[in-house]
């Protein structure tokens, strides 16, 4: 059975990879390569070709995402809005993230650093974990290996997410995501660029350590992205008692975004799971309350502003961080002055 499912999954993945590779070659040879040649940028020829793969995958993701989720939001919304004002900026985040602009940064700026780090680890005897061969005959099945990679990456994703609520400076970056009062399928990509870069580096680093093949990594990222789009969608959808405990649903994740429950930054929170609610259940942070509650950040009710546009949201995060650092310095100075007074 494992062999059959593994063969089917491998066939589907290979077919998708062949299609994307065909589009990649077609666009590169006929559009990008002539443009690079004319502009005198042929020294980034190979990197541009590699990055184009991610761009194509991103476009296909967005087409599927919009075709499936937008009609569901219209037919069975969790919240009724008078208008969709404020949702458009999340679409900008999605285009920036999914079209590979950050992946281009990764290829051009971060890849050499990762190559040096990996060489340093090998030099000091730290090798990649060969998960494929942990259990010959079972983990060597591509579908099984893929499932293991997914679970391992999701475990680290849970802790990355949970810690981003625990530490104040980090929270101010993550607050960009939580400041959306109208959750939609676009909302998953509403993140501060530094936070996105941190997540990308972490997941890429873990994938390198556990030996995820490049083709499977692309599929892992695409699948994770789509599932998270579903979670953030404005859809009244319940997976049933068992389903809610197997996969993070829109209802489960909406609780995480609810004012006063799941996002309280440095104080507490719930439902941090990225794909699976198991980690929340295991580490005591799960809440299966099904009420449809307003989403956002508590101090928005008191007039706090997190920005309406892309650049305002990015810049205000730095302003909040600066205020926290200034308050921390004042606190330390007051402590020292108090000690001297004694």
Residue 111: what pLDDT?
A: 58
Given a contact cutoff of 8 angstroms between Cβ atoms, the answer to whether 78 and 254 are in contact is: yes
Q: Kindly give, in sequence order, each residue whose CB lies less than 8 Å from that of residue 76, ignoring residues fewer than 6 positions away.
A: 235, 236, 237
Q: Report yes or no on 312 lying in a domain.
A: no
Which residue segment(s) compose the domain that 109 sits in? 2-302
d(Cα 43, Cα 36) in Å, to the nearest integer?
9
Given a contact cutoff of 8 angstroms between Cβ atoms, the answer to whether 56 and 23 are in contact is: yes
Q: Report yes or no on 341 lying in a domain.
A: no
76: helix, strand or coil: coil
Residue 136: what pLDDT?
A: 64
Residue 340: what pLDDT?
A: 60
Residue 130: what pLDDT?
A: 67
pTM above 0.85, yes or no: no
Residue 154: what pLDDT?
A: 95
Q: Report yes or no on 324 lying in a domain.
A: no
Residue 124: what pLDDT?
A: 75
Q: Report yes or no on 148 lying in a domain.
A: yes
Q: Is 96 exposed, middle or buried (0-12, 13-18, 19+ CB in 10 A)?
A: middle
Q: Which of 172, 228, 220 is nearest to 195 (CA)?
A: 172
Given a contact cutoff of 8 angstroms between Cβ atoms, the answer to whether 158 and 275 are in contact is: no
Q: Report yes or no on 272 lying in a domain.
A: yes
- Structurally, how many domains does the chain consist of? 1
Q: Report yes or no on 331 lying in a domain.
A: no
Q: Report yes or no on 332 lying in a domain.
A: no
Residue 98: what pLDDT?
A: 78
Residue 271: what pLDDT?
A: 93
Q: Which residues of the chain have pLDDT under 50?
A: 2, 5, 342
Helices H, strands E: what count in the chain? 14, 0
Q: Report yes or no on 101 lying in a domain.
A: yes
């Amino acid at each position: 059975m494992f062999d059959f499912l593994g063969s089917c999954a491998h066939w589907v993945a290979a077919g998708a990879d062949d299609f994307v590779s065909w589009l990649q070659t077609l666009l590169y040879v006929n559009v990008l390569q002539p443009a690079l040649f004319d502009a005198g940028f042929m020294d980034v020829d190979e990197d541009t070709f590699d990055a184009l793969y991610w761009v194509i995958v991103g476009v296909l993701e967005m087409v599927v995402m919009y075709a499936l989720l937008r009609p569901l939001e219209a037919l069975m919304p969790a919240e009724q809005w008078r208008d969709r004002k404020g949702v458009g900026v999340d679409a900008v985040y999605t285009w920036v993230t999914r079209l590979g602009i950050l992946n281009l940064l990764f290829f051009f700026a971060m890849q050499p650093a990762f190559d040096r780090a990996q060489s340093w680890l090998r030099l000091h005897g730290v090798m990649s974990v060969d998960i494929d061969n942990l259990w010959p005959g079972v983990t060597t099945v591509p579908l099984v290996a893929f499932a293991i990679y997914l679970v391992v990456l999701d475990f680290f994703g849970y802790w990355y997410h949970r810690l981003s609520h625990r530490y104040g400076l980090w929270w101010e970056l993550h607050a960009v995501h939580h400041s959306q009062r109208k959750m939609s399928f676009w909302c998953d990509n509403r993140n501060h660029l530094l936070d996105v870069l941190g997540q990308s580096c972490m997941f890429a680093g873990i994938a390198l350590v556990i030996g995820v093949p490049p083709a499977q990594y692309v599929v892992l990222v695409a699948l994770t992205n789509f599932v998270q789009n579903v979670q953030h969608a404005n859809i009244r959808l319940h997976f049933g008692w068992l389903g809610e405990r197997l996969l993070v649903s829109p209802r489960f994740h909406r609780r995480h975004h609810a004012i006063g429950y799941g996002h309280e930054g440095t104080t507490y929170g719930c439902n941090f799971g990225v794909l699976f609610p198991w980690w929340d259940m295991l580490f005591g942070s799960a809440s299966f309350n099904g009420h449809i509650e307003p989403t956002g950040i508590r101090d928005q009710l008191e007039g706090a502003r997190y920005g309406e546009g892309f650049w305002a949201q990015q810049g205000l995060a730095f302003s909040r961080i600066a205020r926290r650092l200034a308050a921390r310095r004042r606190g330390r100075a007051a402590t020292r002055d108090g000690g001297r007074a004694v």
